[in-house]
Amino acid sequence: MKIDFTKKLLKWDREQNFRSMPWKKEASPYRIWLSEIILQQTRVEQGMGYYKKFLSAFPTIKALANAPEKEIFKCWEGLGYYSRCRNLIAAAKKIVADHQGRFPSSYADIRALPGIGPYTAAAISSFAFGQPYAVVDGNVIRVLARYFGINTPPGSSAGKKLFDVLAGELLDKNQPAAYNQAIMDFGATICKPRRPLCSACIQLKSCQAFQNGWTNELPSKQTALVRRKRWFYYFIVEADKNKYWVRKRTEKDIWQNLYEFVLWEPGKFIPQDRIGENAFFQDHFGNQGLQIRQISSPVQQFLTHQSITGCFVHLSHTLTKFPGYQAVSKKQLQAFPFPKMIAEYIASLPPL
C-alpha cells in the first residue's frame, strides 16, 4: 500500500501536476529558504509578491544580512507573524558569520539556523541538496490522514510522531525533491481541505477516507482556538507641522520591531465618548491643553492567538516633547514598517 502510494503520486506529478510557482524547481538554497519562510502561515497567492519583492531588494544572503533592519521589516509589512522576519534576519547574519555567507548544506546546520524547524530544514535539504528528508506540512498531513484513514490528531505528540515516521517511510529516497514537491502540490490542488477533487484522484481506489466516507472528518480537528482580546487606542499627536510622534515596539510582544503611534492599552473596550476622561489621556494630553479632534471607527486585526480592536484618536495642537517617541515627518512615515492595522489606516487618510 505504501509503495503503491508513492509510485502513483510520482506518476501523477509527471503526467498531471501543472502547478506553477516562482520557486518551483529552484536549486538555490537561499531562494528556497526565503520562499519557505514567507509561506509559513501565508497563502501562496499572497506570498508570491513578497517573494519577488525580497529577491529584488535583497538578492543574496549577504545583502539581506547587511541591510538596515527597518528596510527589511518594511518589505515584510503586511505579511504578519513578524517573528518570521526577525528570524530571517538573525539566520542571515548567522550564515554570514559562521558559514562565510554560503548557505549550509547539512541538515543539522540548516536546522540550527534561527526560525528553521524540521519541515523547513527538510524542504531546503531535499530541494537544494537532494537529501532524503521528508517534508511534513498541513498538505502532507491531510493527504496521509485521508489515504491511510488516520484519526489521530496531528497536533498531538502521538500524531506528530506518527506522521513524521509515515512520511519518512513513503519518501522516495532516490528523488526526494520530486516526491516532496509532488505530495505538497497534491494536497494543495487535489486533496484540498474543502471540496477535494476525489473524482480526479489517482489514489482514489485505496483511499480509506473516500472508501469509508471520512473525507470531511480527516484530519481530526484540533480543539477550537481561544483568542485573547485586546484593545489598542492610538493617539495621533503632532510634534510640529507635518511631524508625528511614533515609536518602535521593542517589548517581547506582538509586532516587535514595528512602529506605532502613541499607544494606550486599557485592557477593555472604552466607548468613544469616554476616551478623553481616562487618566492616560489627562496625564499625557489633557494637562497640556490638547483636545480630541477626531476618532476613527473601530478596526480589527485577528492574529493566531489574539484579536486586536483599535481606534485612532486625532488630537488638536502639538506636543514638542514626548519621551520614548520620535518625531517623524509625514513623508518619512511611508518608509517605516507598521502593523497592518496602522499601515492601512495611514493609507486611508491622505491628509495624514
End-to-end CA distance of the chain: 63
Helix (H) and strand (E) counts in the chain = 14, 7
Give the Cα-Cα-Cα angle 93, 97, 102 (nearest 5 degrees).
85
| Cα 213 → chain centroid | 33
DSSP SS3 for 235: strand
How far, in Å, CA of 159 to CA of 39, rounded?
A: 23
C-alpha cell recorded at residue 46 = 499572497
Look at residue 120 and give its three-state secondary structure.
Answer: helix
d(CA 300, CA 307): 7
- The C-alpha cell that represents 248 in the structure block: 518602535
Based on the residue annotation, tell me whether 36 is a catalytic residue of this protein: yes
176: Cβ–Cβ under 8 A, 6 or more apart, which residues?
A: 126, 130, 131, 132, 133, 134
Residue 245 three-state SS: strand
Nearest by Cα to 143 from 183, 182, 180: 183
Active-site option among 26, 36, 69, 217: 36
Burial class (CB in 10 A: 0-12, 13-18, 19+), 160: middle
| Catalytic sites, residue numbers | 36
